[in-house]
């Protein structure tokens, strides 16, 4: 096995939410290319897609040399995940070159594939560099936390939802433009979100990419709902991630603030397409994201 488990890497101690996230994402090594989830899966009614995406990337990462970092991944969500059973991750080694390594991962439950992921890894090297400019937005310190957002709209939130969004989270998410998730207004199909891990990681922690893969699936689908005055909590919607791609441009740390700038060029045929650029607070573009999700209207 190349690399250590997340629990072995963690020296941060007392953050209970972070420890729970580690547990949700960590993998047991069955053999060199076979891994298994170790804890009860995370999600509401089905396994959270970002969890399986992150675990598949982690499984692939454990089969390449430590000097190789992911530069891209492309995945398809094929079936909903069962909350009560472990997920098996089978890694296929497609290519090991001087500069690039390519892996394919099948995430399986009950002998069926629930996610397919292809990931490519590259040794660090210099090259031509340019990027799009980070937009000017308020800093994270001036944006509402999820608890403050829930308190702002507490009059319209059920008690259970208010309690859920008032508790601590391992990932700190702050919408640049606050909105009521249960009574959304029609808005342009773009928004920005600050995010970071709600704790400090060891300096040599190696798995920032898979932690960001987990976080990248939290908000991007909802961007395609904004022009329609809907949210993920709208009862007339059936929503699910269909595919998810990421390109890793520059180094970053998930325990430092990142700005996730999202837009949705199109929704049609029951699908919403969204894109995202993720910037460090100093303006460096570090990751690009694209996702298409099911946003099917149904009778209530």
Q: Who's near 8: CB < 8 A, 6+ residues apart? A: none
d(CA 147, CA 133): 30
Q: Who's near 164: CB < 8 A, 6+ residues apart? A: none
Q: Mark whether 67 is an active-site residue.
A: no
Q: Mark whether 274 is an active-site residue.
A: no
Q: Mark whether 243 is an active-site residue.
A: no
Q: How many CB atoms lie within 10 A of CB 202?
A: 11
Among residues 10, 172, 217, 255, the one annotated as catalytic is: 217
Among residues 241, 264, 267, 274, the one annotated as catalytic is: 241
| Positions marked catalytic | 217, 241, 291
């Amino acid at each position: 096995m190349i690399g250590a488990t997340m629990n072995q890497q963690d020296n941060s101690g007392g953050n209970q939410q972070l420890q729970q996230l580690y547990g949700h994402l960590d993998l047991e090594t069955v053999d060199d290319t076979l891994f298994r989830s170790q804890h009860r899966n995370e999600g509401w009614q089905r396994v959270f897609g970002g969890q399986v995406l992150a675990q598949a990337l982690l499984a692939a990462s454990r089969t390449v040399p430590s000097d190789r970092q992911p530069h891209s991944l492309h995945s398809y969500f094929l079936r909903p995940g069962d909350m009560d059973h472990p997920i098996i991750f089978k890694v296929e080694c497609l290519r090991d070159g001087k500069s690039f390594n390519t892996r394919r991962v099948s995430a399986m439950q009950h002998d069926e594939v629930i996610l397919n992921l292809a990931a490519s890894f590259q040794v660090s090297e210099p090259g031509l560099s340019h990027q799009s400019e980070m937009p000017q937005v308020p800093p994270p310190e001036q944006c509402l936390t999820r608890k403050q957002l829930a308190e702002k709209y507490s009059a319209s939130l059920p008690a259970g939802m208010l309690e859920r969004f008032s508790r601590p989270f391992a990932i700190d998410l702050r919408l640049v433009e606050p909105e009521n998730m249960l009574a959304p207004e029609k808005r342009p199909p773009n928004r920005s979100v600050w995010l970071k891990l709600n704790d400090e990681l060891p300096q040599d922690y190696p798995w920032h990419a898979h932690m960001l893969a987990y976080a990248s699936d939290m908000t991007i689908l909802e961007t395609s709902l904004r022009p329609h005055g809907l949210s993920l909590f709208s009862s007339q919607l059936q929503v699910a991630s269909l595919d998810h791609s990421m390109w890793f441009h520059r180094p970053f740390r998930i325990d430092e603030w990142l700005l996730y700038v999202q837009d949705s060029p199109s929704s049609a045929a029951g699908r919403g397409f969204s894109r995202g650029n993720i910037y460090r607070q100093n303006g460096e573009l570090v990751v690009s994201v694209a996702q298409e999700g099911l946003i099917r209207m149904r009778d209530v």
